[in-house]
């Protein structure tokens, strides 16, 4: 039997590169994936590829910063058999490459505010339905644990730390209902960057040089790990982080 057979998984930001990789892995393991995001065309492209591969995928245009939209979408999925897995992978709108001393306050604050609000809304919506079933997995996505000296990343690190604080609190409050919370941490995923991103080659080399395996994690590999963590085979894992950094991060 596949890892996620019979599971319903909602993926916010399912049209993005990481979201698409996770959705593809989940579907390959038997899950019915519900892709949510603000750009319907991109969601439909991912869903079409999943269906062409024999998987099951649905799409919905949802602004994950909109409380009502998130709650109504979760309600609709719950009516389709429940929510087993929730994974928020929307972009935080961070500005990279600008030193903090040269950054506008709005650019610094944006990823922090976005991360906190969207993660809270989507986790809360999923948890409300998972509580009644006394099971479920809420996944989070993080990155570097320490500040990057070579590349300015603005408020992104603060956003990651805020998400981790939320994940720990949710783990404490939801554990008695059988609901797990886990963060996947990377040391950077160069495949998520556009081909014409300034300094991409340098950044990829820098990330690889910091790893113990001499390379960065690939999108497909992140999807495969996420599928395992979301499955019942990882049912003892909660209040935890999973290191998928190829050794760039040392726990």
pLDDT of residue 17 exceeding 60, the answer is: yes
Average pLDDT estimate for 13-38:
98
- The pLDDT confidence band at residue 133, using thresholds 50, 70 and 90, is very high
Domain segments of the chain: what residues?
8-243
pLDDT of residue 130: 98
pLDDT of residue 148: 58
pLDDT of residue 251 exceeding 80, the answer is: no
How much is the mean pLDDT over the chain? 93
Helix ranges, 29-66 (H)? 40-52
pLDDT of residue 145 exceeding 60, the answer is: no
Average pLDDT estimate for 1-6:
94
CATH class of the domain comprising 8-243: alpha beta
End-to-end CA gap in the chain: 32
Residue 184, C-beta contacts closer than 8 angstroms, at least 6 positions apart: 139, 140, 141, 142, 222, 225, 226, 229, 241, 242, 244
What the block records as the tokens of 234 is 């990882």
């Amino acid at each position: 039997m596949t890892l996620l057979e019979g599971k319903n998984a909602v993926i916010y930001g399912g049209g993005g590169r990481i979201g698409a990789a996770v959705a593809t892995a989940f579907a390959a393991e038997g899950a019915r994936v519900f892709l949510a995001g603000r750009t319907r065309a991109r969601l439909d492209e991912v869903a079409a590829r999943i269906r062409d591969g024999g998987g099951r995928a649905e799409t919905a245009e949802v602004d994950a910063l909109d409380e009502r939209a998130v709650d109504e979408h979760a309600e609709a999925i719950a009516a389709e058999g429940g929510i087993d897995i929730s994974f928020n992978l929307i972009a935080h709108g961070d500005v990279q490459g600008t030193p903090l001393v040269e950054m506008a306050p709005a650019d610094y604050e944006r990823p922090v505010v976005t991360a906190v609000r969207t993660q809270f809304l989507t986790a809360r919506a999923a948890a409300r339905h998972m509580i009644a079933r006394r099971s479920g997995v809420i996944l989070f996505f993080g990155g570097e644990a320490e500040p990057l000296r070579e590349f300015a990343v603005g408020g992104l690190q603060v956003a990651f730390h805020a998400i981790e604080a939320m994940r720990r609190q949710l783990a404490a409050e939801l554990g008695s209902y059988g609901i797990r919370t886990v963060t996947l941490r990377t040391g950077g995923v160069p495949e998520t960057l556009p081909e014409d991103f300034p300094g991409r080659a340098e950044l990829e080399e820098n990330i690889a040089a910091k790893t113990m395996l001499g390379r960065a994690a690939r999108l497909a590999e992140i999807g495969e790990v996420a599928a395992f963590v979301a499955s019942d085979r990882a049912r003892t894992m909660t209040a935890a982080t999973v290191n998928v950094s190829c050794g760039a991060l040392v726990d």
